[in-house]
Amino acid sequence: MHDSLRPTGEAPLDFRDTLTRLERDGELSRVSREVDPDVELIAVTRKMQRTLNRGLLFQNVRGTIGAVATNVIATRPRLAKALGVDDGQLLGWIEQGYSAPIDPIEVESAPVQEVVSTDDVDIARQIPQIIHCEGDAGPYVTAGVVIATHPDTGVYNASFNRSQIVGGSHARLRMMAPQHLGQYQQVSEGRGEPLPVAMVIGAPPALMLSAASKIPLGSDELQIAGAWQGSPLRVTRAVSVPLLVPADAEYVIEGEVVPNAREIEGPYGEFTDTYVEPAENHVLRVTAITRRADPIYHSILAGSPEDVTLLAVPLQLEVLKHARAFADVVDVGTPGHIFGCVVSIRKRNDEQASAVLMAALAAHSWMKMVIVVDEDIDPHDAEEVLWAVQTRARPDTGLFHIPRLASFPRADVRPVHKGKIGIDATVPMDLKSTFRRREFPEVALEDYLNQAAD
């Protein structure tokens, strides 16, 4: 089933292979000069994200073993490429993967366990101490995929959870119910037991997508990751906790969430580009650190193109599933942020756009603004979308406002996330010929520039 949707002909990738392919395709830049992990590394990353948006491989990070990679899966085409599929087939590939899970395969020899530390587990010395923003409380692990099994069912969950590094074997882990990991922890804590966890850094892209997705509780996320990469996830037994971990990751931090223990974590610069104030969060006791001999540490800046891509693609699929009952949906994009989306449709009548708007707003509770455009508009291109709004939307009849309905629930910003807006930026059916766009021949610009005179 999966091979029919793999038109690129290239195999899915682990994290290291993803970097190799990015470099091959001219989408990765290396930084050889020494870089300070305290804010400077992320400042360089942010500048790259706002210009060329390539991946970055920092080869000389002060006080760090190995290299640091950032901005790796910063676009939807890159994510598709890492899974071995074409961008246009990505949402269909992900959707069918939900119904075709693939069991992981256990191996004994694992690259992620080339170096094992069980006695000396000072995470402040063994992983890069990256401070992302000047107002952060300290260094954080931001690309850690936390793996755990349900205390009763043994079903694997994977999720992204930021972790503040304290020092020694001590860290603070951000999680809470209704997140599935938080529910797992509640069960363990109710019994007075710690929850064994493994924080995977430099995870296979399919597992990163699984960790960022809203997979139904009870579905095994290692199996779903296997489906999305079209082959079994290679796993090995952790050295200090009863878990299977990805064999081809770069680092694994093993440990347990301490029951009935909370500590103040933060402040931290979150994905809304504001700071989350200090609050009580969970305590992680580290029991082992394993890694490759030449590890590549992965760091994700919250709210960056990489963060938003991983969060947005599952959301785009949810919107597609809701909206396609009302129209022929071409694609769904989330330019700007994940609190809104753009739906491109092949409109058959003028009622379809408003029906799609309402369906998309209902697809996810965080959805705050939806714009519907015609099939000739790229929903991933913010400039194209804004052009459609300015040239095609009717302010008198094309705006939809639902007051007071809540969206993003975080308490400190909740007042500005009340109410929802829809914009119909499609051309009225009786004006299709009037709004037909101009056409121009395709040319290769390099054929016309800097040509020597005959």
| Interval 288-326: pLDDT, tens | 999 999 999 999 999 999 999 999 999 999 999 999 999
Residue 120, pLDDT score: 79
Burial of 38 (0-12, 13-18, 19+ CB in 10 A): middle
Q: How far apart are CA 270 and CA 132, in angstroms?
A: 10
DSSP summary character for residue 266:
-
Residue 379, pLDDT score: 97
CATH fold group of domain 2-305: Pnp Oxidase; Chain A (2.30.110)
Residue 167, pLDDT score: 87
Residue 2, pLDDT score: 37
Residue 10, pLDDT score: 64
Q: Which residues of the chain have pLDDT under 70?
A: 1-12, 409, 451-454
Biggest distance spanned by C-alpha atoms of the chain: 85
Q: How far apart are CA 164 and CA 442, in angstroms?
A: 52
CATH fold group of domain 324-431: UbiD C-terminal domain-like (3.40.1670)
Q: How far apart are CA 54 and CA 74, in angstroms?
A: 8
What does the domain layout of the chain look like in residue ranges?
2-305, 324-431
DSSP summary character for residue 38:
B
Asked, colleague to colleague, whether 2-305 and 324-431 share their fold, the answer is no
pTM (2 d.p.): 0.91
Q: Which helix (H) or strand (E) holds 126?
A: helix 123-126
Residue 11, pLDDT score: 64
Residue 272, pLDDT score: 82
Residue 365, pLDDT score: 86
Residue 404, pLDDT score: 82
Q: How far apart are CA 163 and CA 284, in angstroms?
A: 9
